[in-house]
Structure 1
Amino acid sequence: MARIAVITHEFDVFERRRGPLLRRDSPYMLFDLLEELKRRGHSVRIVAGTSARPEADIAILHVDATVAPPEYVEYARTYPFCLNIGAADISKRRVSGAVIDKDHGWRGPVIVKSSLNNLGTREQTLNRRSRRAGRPEPFPDARLLDRYCIYNSLADVPPAVFDRKDLVVEKFVPEPEPDGFGARFWLFCGERERCTRHVSPQNLVKGED
């Protein structure tokens, strides 16, 4: 069976114990996949930071930030095989197919987002935890966006938005449903899978809605 190392940022909290029975829990979908892999006989170790070097057959790069710091990417390369190493930068400016510029011919509504995931909140969290530990901020240039802004057209977007590298403008194409708006999520592990659809009265749908 495989030995799996999950590489997290040293200040990430991948799992914790909750409730009167102190059951293990995690906000990450990967947690459920790892539980299934352990049930199948594989071993899993969460590696926080880059100082330890456990023996492993497979590593999973799981730094909870939009762009994994270079030292984590280099650390991940020391393993024989690493999942997610090709997704070390998942900023919207890099991976989104919906990003448009001010001269695009799109005629529908648009949304202004942070190029960072989740408004940049994860970077702010890691910066705060690093400061508390007396360490340098890992993302000193990260800017927190307070909310997403939706406009009826490109012409309505303030011109200054297009000059900011930390923001992106995307086509806004929500999935309408009779009772709101939908979003789909697919989680799979080998031959087993879980596909869910979330419907919310909000036109911006997140998994927690």
Structure 2
Amino acid sequence: MARIAVITHEFDRFQSRRGLLLRQDSPYMLFDVLAELKRRGHSVQIMRGPSASHNADIAVLHVDATVTPSDYVDYARGFPICLNLGATDISKRRISGAILEEGANWSGQVIVKSNLNHWGTPEEQLNRKSVRAGKAVPFPGAQTFDRYQVHASLADVAPEIFRRADLIVEKFIPEIEPDGFAARFWIFCGDRERCTRYVSPQRLVKGDDTIRREPVAVPDELRALRRKLGFDYGKFDFVVHEGRAVLLDANKTPGRARNLSKIVAAGAANLADGFENLIHQTGRGRIARETVPTAYG
């Protein structure tokens, strides 16, 4: 049985305030995976902040921020193996395959988004909690931007938007269906995964407003991109546009599904299998930190 450590930001509430891993009040999908691993006999310890000592066999770098602070990365390197150690920057400007620069040759619709993951909400919350604790803010200048703006053309975007480091402009390319719009969501841990295509009446497709869904295959170019970005565990949001898979969002701390207990339980067990496979591969020396890709299904 493995000793698992989860490295979180010191002000992130990964689990209940009582430290009970099995209380169903965490916002994170990894919580369900760890609960299943604990049920199988593995031990789990939550490491809040980079200063605590440890005796873990394997760690997961689970700092809910777009760019993981360097002291957390340095701390994670001290573990025998640490998942997602290569995925420390998930800014849209780094991961998006639909980025547009001012004056680009694109005649379709465009969308303005935050460069930060989840509109910058995690950074804003961690800054606020740090101030309350009397500490310096970890993400100076971070601001939330939750007003996704769709424009008819690139010419309709104000020039100053392109000069803002906190915003990006993308091609707006949902998969158009007769009854709505579609996007694809790939969740994975090691060699276990599920990839689903969701159709929604809303042009900004979210998992909770869909009218139908179907399993789909993972394109080879997405697998290659996962290796390049250094993801052992996480979620990719993408579309297929003109026959090509286009990554729109990559999340190393994906959230939990709500009110879907049976689906969550089955998904957690599958991802826990992938986690255990990574543990076994680590024991045989088949994956190395940051440089060698993990195994994929």
TM-score by length of 1: 0.89
d(CA) in 2 for partners of 1:118, 1:206: 12
Residue 103 of structure 2 is matched in structure 1 by 103
- The Cα shift of 1:85 comes to 1.2
- The Cα shift of 1:194 comes to 4.1
The CA RMSD measured in Å over matched residues stands at: 2.0
Q: Tell whether 2:189 aligns with 1:173.
A: no
d(CA) in 1 for partners of 2:142, 2:136: 13
Residue 226 of structure 2 is matched in structure 1 by none
Cα pair 1:33 1:189 within 8 Å, conserved: no
Q: Tell whether 2:28 aligns with 1:28.
A: yes
The C-alpha deviation readout for 1:123-144, integer Å capped at 9, x for no partner, is: 1100111111111111112122
The C-alpha deviation readout for 1:85-106, integer Å capped at 9, x for no partner, is: 1111110111111111012212
d(CA) in 2 for partners of 1:175, 1:15: 36
Cα pair 2:114 2:146 within 8 Å, conserved: no
Q: Map 1:66-105 to 2 at 5 A.
A: 66-105=66-105
Q: Map 1:1-209 to 2 at 5 A.
A: 1-16=1-16, 23-189=23-189, 193-209=193-209
- The Cα shift of 1:160 comes to 0.7
For 1:93, the aligned partner's letter is R
- The Cα shift of 1:31 comes to 1.5
| Structure 2 SS opposite 1:124 | helix
Higher-RCO chain (CA-CA 8 Å, sequence separation at least 6): 2
d(CA) in 2 for partners of 1:190, 1:137: 34
| Structure 1 SS opposite 2:52 | coil
Cα pair 1:119 1:145 within 8 Å, conserved: yes
Q: 1:89 to 1:106 in 2, by over 3 A?
A: same
TM-score by length of 2: 0.64
Gapped runs of 5+ residues in structure 2?
Answer: 210-297
Q: 1:178 to 1:39 in 2, by over 3 A?
A: farther
The C-alpha deviation readout for 1:5-26, integer Å capped at 9, x for no partner, is: 1100000011238xxxx94332
Gapped runs of 5+ residues in structure 1?
Answer: none
- The Cα shift of 1:30 comes to 1.3
d(CA) in 2 for partners of 1:159, 1:176: 29
- The Cα shift of 1:202 comes to 1.8
Q: 1:190 to 1:96 in 2, by over 3 A?
A: closer
